[in-house]
Amino acid sequence: MSRQLWRFHGGLHLPDHKELSSGEPVVEAIVPRQLILPIHQHIGVPAEPVVEPGQRVLKGQVVAKADGYVSAPVHASSSGTVVAIEPRPVPHPSGLSALCVVIETDGEDRWTERQPVADYKELDPSELRNVIRDAGIVGLGGAGFPAFIKLNPGARTAIDTLVLNGSECEPYITCDDRLMRDRPDEIIAGARIMRHALHARECVIGIEDNKPEAVAALREAIARMQATEIEVVVVPTHYPTGGEKQLIKVLTGKEVPSQGLPLDVGVVCHNVGTAAAVHRAVERGEPLISRVVTLTGGVGHPRNMEVRIGTPVEELLAQAGGTLEGVERLLVGGPMMGFDLRHRDAPIVKTANCLLAITGEMAASRGPVRPCIRCGACAEACPVSLLPQQLYWYSRAKDFDKVQDYNLFDCIECGCCAYVCPSNLPLVQYFRFAKTEIWAQEREKQAAELARRRHEFRTERIEREKAERAARLAQKKAMVAKSDSAEDKKKAAIKAAMERAKAKKSATEPKNTENLTEAQQRQIAEADARRAEKKAPVDSEASGGNEE
Amino acid sequence: MLTAIIAITALAIVFGLLLGYAAVRFRVESDPVVERVDAMLPQTQCGQCGFAGCRPYAEAIAAGEVEINRCPPGGENLMLALADLLGRDPVPLDPELGEPKPKMVARIDENTCIGCTLCLQACPVDAILGAAKQMHTILESECTGCELCLEPCPVDCIEMVPVEQTVNTWKWPYPIVVESKA
């Protein structure tokens, strides 16, 4: 049974250079002394550290938990002690640092308790997704979108096809190729689990025809595991067939709408590496703590290694014979879509599929940049049928409205346009510039909106408080006015009481004045005289003052 | 002759009524210019334009009372966008009002703060948290960098710091290309 295949617009035939590393089976890399685990290795909200410096952690233990729905946890890739939670250089085109959990490994590599699922078929798809989410699995093809979300089609969508992406179209990269050749069983097992989670009608593994060994290995595994529901389809080698939307087009003929998702056409696409990770998470209880990385280009011994997430690049390169003389820079990813690695002490993250050492010789192939001659070669090469030339002019002029009118955000940054450009214009750089600039403007707009709301609220609050204070004052005044008559009565009562008291006081006579002895009489008289004497000078003084 | 006049008059009356009815029934509330201008302003509420906040400035612009170059935080991009929206001529930014600066946020030196609440009252977006005789602190995510809190502070414990760039806010630089003429 041969399947009908389709073609996408444009694309390129590139020299693939895969022979450098495709003969090298996947070898496990040495566990490094220090693991640097960035908390943000996926698309979405950064994870939240749940460990403290000084704490002992076991291999597979969660060190940072997912924060929100679109997020993924990070696990310790080996056992050891957390020594720091601090910003460290991460593999990112900016070369900036980001928060990382740093673990000093103890060499024991001791697992935490694993809880494999005995039979995934008995699990509800949502429970299955939870297992996959908790294992921190993200798309291993390069984008790093949390995998469990892509396994959640929602109630309304029926999934027709689950596509597993084994195209690996970019030159030099061989990690998926080797994974398919060395561990086909894991991929098939993972594919079955994914298909169960999605209730997909069919499952297709798309592989470019430059990887016949991978095709054979997977077909053999399918036959051995009797997984007849899974089909391996060989597609022509044509860059960028490994792009999600391009592969879907080639395999199913369906076109994912602009700014839409494969889900919109009833298709879900995952990388073969992600499928293997899903199998390990579900059937072995192992979270995502390692991935296959291709080390190639200007290195002593190009090879494919299973690397613990968080392994510093420098240490890894040493295991591939180090970089050769004349290596100018290191790329994370392939030559078409990869980015410069600024710090060699940055770690391998979940999305890093390849480390490519670029020598001066390889870089020298591009000539000087000349003005655009409007030849239109870029538009012919564009696999998304965009007009790169128009995008270039508008990006260059920083006309961000216009550039969006020409669907900038459908650009997959594959680099075909820049590759064919006879003027050697760095087109993708312009598009990336425009994209990040538009995102920044969007963020600013949101910040302005927030500030406006808060300012309005504050103004309103101040007005309200003023009104309330005025109301309180008015109320008090009214109360005072009302109680004026009552006050008079009260005052009169007090006055009367005081007068009564005065009258009573003046009316009081000294008691026990009868039947006194002589001595007592004398004492009283003396006391009276003293009192009179005491009073007299005051009186005279007062009268004296008056006379003056 | 008479029938023609009557017919034309009748038609005129009918269409006139129709148009009149339509004008009332399908009246389109025009988008007020103030709203649109206000939506473009950066909402720092800093008052550098000489108005008490962004909205009063937007109202003045919409009324045509002031130039469109009085917002340093918005910078030249805002001025150009306003010129575009209002059909006015672009004018260079007013240098008296200060230079456009990179985005800043206020930071309180917590050792020096005496808890006087003066800055709390000055903040236009309630981005400062604190109470009398308690240390104050600034909610960085809410701070617009308007600098209005600097002035009232009696102990000068507030300083403006540039917003730190992170992996998530980093932008690809504009490509530097030297085009060879050959």
pLDDT tops 60 at residue A363: yes
Residue A472 burial (C-beta neighbours within 10 Å; 0-12, 13-18, 19+): exposed
Instruction: Name the token pair of A74.
Output: 């990070």
Per residue in A147-177, pLDDT (tens digit) is 999 998 887 778 999 999 999 999 999 999 9
Which residues of chain B have a CB within 8 Å of the CB of A426?
Answer: 175, 177
Bridge partners of residue B87, in order along the sequence: none
User: Which residues are CB-contacts of A371 (< 8 A; sequence separation ≥ 6)?
Assistant: A423, B179
Distance from CA of B94 to the nearest CA of A (A): 22
Whether residue A388 has a cis bond before it, omega within 30° of 0: no
Q: What local confidence, expressed as pLDDT, does residue A257 receive?
A: 92
- Our measurement of the distance from residue A197's CA atom to the centroid of its chain's CA atoms, rounded to an integer in Å, reads 24
Mean pLDDT across A236-252: 94
Which residues of chain A have a CB within 8 Å of the CB of B177?
Answer: 369, 425-426
Instruction: Give the dihedral sign, CA B38/A408/B175/A369.
Output: negative
Q: Residue A198 and residue A126: Cα distance in Å, rounded?
A: 10
- The answer to which of B72-76, B114-118, B178-182 has the lowest mean pLDDT is B178-182
Q: Residue A360 and residue A203: Cα distance in Å, rounded?
A: 43
- What count of other Cβ atoms lies within 10 Å of the Cβ of residue A490? 11
Distance from CA of A434 to the nearest CA of B (A): 8
Percent of chain A with pLDDT over 90: 74
Per residue in A13-59, pLDDT (tens digit) is 999 899 999 999 999 999 999 999 999 999 999 999 999 999 999 99
Percent of chain B with pLDDT over 70: 97
User: Phi and psi at residue A228, in whole multiples of 5°?
Assistant: -70, -15
Distance from CA of A369 to the nearest CA of B (A): 5
The answer to whether the CB atoms of A425 and B171 lie below 8 A apart is no
pLDDT tops 80 at residue B28: no
The answer to whether the CB atoms of A454 and B126 lie below 8 A apart is yes
Q: Which of A369, A431, A452 to mutate to test the interface with B (most CBs of B within 10 A)?
A: A452
- The answer to which of A126-130, A279-283, B33-37, B171-175 has the lowest mean pLDDT is B33-37
User: Which residues are CB-contacts of A29 (< 8 A; sequence separation ≥ 6)?
Assistant: A305, A306, A307, A308, A311, A316, A319
Q: What local confidence, expressed as pLDDT, does residue A132 receive?
A: 94
From residue B30, alpha-carbon distances to B27, B35, B36, B57 in Å are 9, 11, 11, 20
DSSP state of A483: T
From A392, which residue of chain B is nearest by alpha-carbon distance? B175
Band the pLDDT of A193: cuts 50, 70, 90. very high
Higher-confidence position of A302 and B32: A302
Distance from CA of B40 to the nearest CA of A (A): 8
CA angle B63, B64, B67 (to 5 degrees): 135
Mean pLDDT across A483-502: 81
Which residues of chain B have a CB within 8 Å of the CB of A429?
Answer: 172, 175
Q: Which of A40, A45, A90, A94 to mutate to test the interface with B (most CBs of B within 10 A)?
A: A94
Q: Residue A263 and residue A152: Cα distance in Å, rounded?
A: 10
From A452, which residue of chain B is nearest by alpha-carbon distance? B43
Enumerate the H helices of A34-112 as residue ranges: none
User: Which residues are CB-contacts of A407 (< 8 A; sequence separation ≥ 6)?
Assistant: A258, A259, A384, A386
Q: Quote the ipTM score.
A: 0.79
Band the pLDDT of A222: cuts 50, 70, 90. very high
Q: Decide if A139 contacts A274 (C-beta within 8 A).
A: yes
Per residue in A297-320, pLDDT (tens digit) is 999 999 999 999 999 999 999 999
The answer to whether the CB atoms of B43 and A443 lie below 8 A apart is no
- What count of other Cβ atoms lies within 10 Å of the Cβ of residue A97? 17
Q: Decide if A242 contacts A165 (C-beta within 8 A).
A: yes
CA angle A99, A102, A105 (to 5 degrees): 165
Q: What local confidence, expressed as pLDDT, does residue A547 receive?
A: 40
Mean pLDDT across A213-242: 94
pLDDT tops 50 at residue A544: no
The answer to whether the CB atoms of B167 and A433 lie below 8 A apart is no
pLDDT tops 90 at residue A414: yes
Percent of chain A with pLDDT over 70: 95
The answer to whether the CB atoms of B142 and A450 lie below 8 A apart is yes
Instruction: Give the dihedral sign, CA B119/B121/B124/B130.
Output: positive
Per residue in A123-139, pLDDT (tens digit) is 888 999 999 999 999 99
pLDDT tops 90 at residue A479: no
pLDDT tops 50 at residue A92: yes
User: Which residues are CB-contacts of A19 (< 8 A; sequence separation ≥ 6)?
Assistant: none
Q: What local confidence, expressed as pLDDT, does residue B30 receive?
A: 60
Residue A450 near chain B (CB below 8 Å): yes
Distance from CA of B121 to the nearest CA of A (A): 10
Residue A322 near chain B (CB below 8 Å): no
Instruction: Give the dihedral sign, CA A190/A192/A195/A197.
Output: negative
Amino acid residing at A132? I
The answer to whether the CB atoms of A370 and B124 lie below 8 A apart is no
Residue A437 near chain B (CB below 8 Å): yes
Q: Residue A150 and residue A127: Cα distance in Å, rounded?
A: 14
Q: Residue B67 and residue B76: Cα distance in Å, rounded?
A: 13
Instruction: Give the dihedral sign, CA A320/A323/A325/A327.
Output: positive
From B35, which residue of chain A is nearest by alpha-carbon distance? A452
